[in-house]
A and B are shown apart, each in its own frame.
Chain A
Amino acid sequence: MATTTAARSSLVDFVAPGDTDSAARRHLIAAIVFLLVAGFFTSLLFVKLAYPSFLGGQAFTTYGRLRPIAISTTVLGFLTLMHLAAIYYLVPRLTGARLWNERLANLGLWLAVGVNIAAVLALAAGYSNGREWLEIPWWLDIGVIAMLAVPTVVATRTLRDRTEEGLFVSLWYFFGGLVWVVALFVVGSIPNLYGAASQIQSSFFVSGIIELWLVGVGVGTAYYLVPKITGNPLYNRQLALVGFWTLAFAGAWVGQRRFVYGPGPDWLETTASVFSLALVVAALAVVTNLIGTIRGKWSMMRDSAALRFTMVGAAAYLVVAVLRALQGFRSVAAIIGLTSFDDGTLMLTLFGLAGLWASAFAYHSLPRLIGREVYSLRLAAVHLQATLVGAGLLAALLWMAGLISGYSWAAGALTGTYVPAGDGFANTLDQVRITYGLSALAALVLFAGQLAFAYNAYRTFTSGTPTAHETLVSTNPAEVVDE
């Protein structure tokens, strides 16, 4: 009887351990695994874009099926799981409370992994319902909402137990992000919208996920890492307040900037463009604050991979914010609207901005979660360089493709020599073919960097130098051992 109980409890401990930081550790590992999957599918996606007959004619390798798989594994797999790891790691440290129900958080990871795998299988099998970023069947929508509700409940209950009076900036972004992402999936999953209303729903959902969840939680992480690593206090709290509430106010308004001149209402395109400018203010506030915080300690970037990733991510944040705001101007949209331009910005956002911040968190927390130093700082440098070259080039090439397409379509219409359809379209395509070909190469470079990261993490587990960066000791006087 006793052994049965023991066996059962050890099984429970294996499935959903209750020890401190176990949820953060497990989410981090799962996120790195999904990064590999995401990197693989993303590079395959761009290879198939340029060379559609690569790998023959299997159904699941067509661009139309690969695209949602690549996006889903990146957004719901890598980035969401790494963000959840950051939340589970930082919320206890910043609130001064133990994580409420570590076991539930660990159970939530199993659900998240299950949902992610089911999503990939469903999409590969061709079960797409045609709604951008929510192509998965409706019953998986519920799974996604559940997998995001778990951390929301756990973190909110932890907040209730806090012993720290203040809420550090990072916590604003974490709790905002958690509330928003659940609500976004609920709004995005409303079924049976059609026509322009369905497009508005999709653009609202997709831009909300990007701005409020993928970027927002990343900002929260960056706000923690820079003061933590440099030892400098946060540069300016008021500026942080401005940045956060601007994002909270404007972040969900900007979807329709992608579909300027589309069938949606003109006024919505205008508000989206104006609020995009507000998001530039939010980005400026964040980046200014990070730069102010690191002042005097720039040289620490040499030794701290996490700091380097954070600051490069901040630079990408500015680029992305400015480009997305430009995209909403009608004169700009007349050229780059409905071209690959937006995909370029999207790739930079996923891998260059949110991806860099997520990786920065991984490099910072890995030694603290497993008690070993990062195996190789050189490999971390390779990861950063490959990501910079890969994601930067990928984005730049897609921007170029967008500009070339946009201008050549317009040129055909203005000169009356060709129509952007049929043979006329094939004619304009000839001019961007080379950029698509090179973008496949850039995606492979990006993937190489991700491989270096995953290998580095694996070696950290197996042969990193033991360290005791941050350990947990009892505050109970009776248990403190005299030195």
Chain B
Amino acid sequence: MSSELLAAVSEATGVPEAMVERSAQARAAADGVSPEEVLAAWSGNGAVTPSAPSAAVPEPAPQPVAPETQDETPAPTPTPEPAPSPEPAAPVREPTAVAVLTAPEGSPVLEGRRESGVALLVGAFGLFLVAVFFSFVLPALDVTPASPPPSGLSELGLEGREIYIAEGCWYCHTQQVRPIVTDAKLGSVTQPDQLASIAPDTLGLQRIGPDLARSGSREPTDDAAWLTNFLTDPRSVREDSLQPAYSHLAEADVAALAQYLLESK
């Protein structure tokens, strides 16, 4: 490798000759050309290839760190000492450092084009705001009744609703009747303007257990004693029920929960 060229590139880029030499060899091997050609290209004014050593870019930032995209040194380990300890002993010295690949797999081409980070952030956030408006704000306003109906729950029933929510009953029980054949016998279809203004909803996610929207108006859940018994010890009522036992709840809490279900009509 021509030492004059090396010196010239080193001079021009401010990178030590040893590193320039290694980089040139790596680039030459990758491109299938001779190291001299690479060096010639690097030393030529303005003829710096996109894959020239990063330091060839004239001092862009206060702390230039060569990104992987331009890393060209899959050369023998250039660290002063190998790093056997969990904390790499390689000198990470201020003010500048560069990640040097010694990975056998070599450097991939992880290239982007010249792009604006601001445009990315604004674009992503702007599209999100559109989605917030059209698939949250607008439909939420659409379904919120001007004058929501009273909940129809007694004080004890409201207390039971709190327990229903806190204990996560709504993960396995829905309270929504849909206008499809499956739900035909479950009572009248749930309309948004019938839902009372108590946050949050108890519409539920899925039916591991049965729907409870109108549980107070059908057997066997229209019976307070049955409910209390079932909630405390479900498997005494149905041998292989999947209902968790709420024996850990205070008696008053179970009564409130039962009252809530009775009042759900």
Contact = CB atoms under 8 A, between A and B. Distances in A.
B140 interface: yes
B143 A483 contact: no
Interface string A52-86: 11000111001111011000000000000000000
Interface in B76-108: 77-80, 82-88, 90-93, 95-103, 105-108
B245 interface: yes
Contact of B69 (A168, A232, A405, A412): A168
A96 B54 CA distance: 9
Interface stretch (B1-9, B10-18, B38-46, B152-160): B10-18
Contacts of A169: 112
Contact of B93 (A50, A64, A338, A479): A479
A86 B68 CA distance: 15
B34 interface: no
A249 B127 contact: yes
B251 interface: no
A128 B88 contact: no
Interface in A398-421: 405-406, 409-410, 412-414, 419-421
Nearest to B110: A168
Interface in B42-71: 54-55, 57, 60-70
A406 B201 contact: no
A26 interface: no
Contact of B16 (A192, A339, A480): A480
Size bracket of the A interface: 35 or more
A253 B142 contact: no
Q: Is the interface of B mostly helix, strand, loop or mixed?
A: loop
A473 B218 contact: no
B244 A227 contact: no
Contacts, number: 419
Contacts of B210: 420-422, 425
B146 interface: no
Contacts of B198: 194
Most buried by B among A48, A164, A340, A479: A164
B168 A65 contact: yes
A405 B183 CA distance: 13
B253 to A, nearest CB: 11
Given A413-B185, A420-B210, A426 B238 contact: yes
A362 to B, nearest CB: 16
A203 to B, nearest CB: 9
B91 A409 contact: no
A1 interface: no
B127 to A, nearest CB: 5
B1 to A, nearest CB: 15
Given A96-B66, A164-B69, A179-B125, A263 B203 contact: yes
B196 A98 contact: no
A470 B197 contact: no
A202 B135 CA distance: 12
A194 B235 contact: no
A466 B102 CA distance: 14
Nearest to B98: A475
A458 interface: no
A160 interface: yes
Interface in A207-225: 208, 212, 224
B67 A161 contact: no
A429 B57 CA distance: 68
Interface stretch (A265-273, A280-288, A308-316, A380-388): A265-273
B186 interface: yes
A121 to B, nearest CB: 15
Nearest to A421: B210
Interface string B123-157: 11101100110111001111111001000000000
B66 A475 contact: yes
Interface stretch (A2-10, A170-178, A319-327, A352-360): A170-178
B196 A194 contact: yes
A338 B136 contact: no
B199 A192 contact: yes
Contact of B201 (A194, A229, A261, A426): A194
B180 interface: yes
Contact of B84 (A98, A252, A371, A413): A371
A196 B201 contact: yes
Interface stretch (A33-41, A129-137, A447-455): A129-137
B171 to A, nearest CB: 5
B200 interface: yes
A229 B38 CA distance: 26
12 contacts: A52-B234, A64-B172, A163-B66, A176-B124, A192-B199, A195-B197, A200-B143, A234-B109, A245-B127, A248-B128, A420-B210, A421-B185
Given A130-B166, A194-B201, A474-B97, 9 more contacts: A49-B242, A64-B167, A97-B63, A163-B64, A180-B124, A340-B208, A421-B215, A468-B88, A475-B96
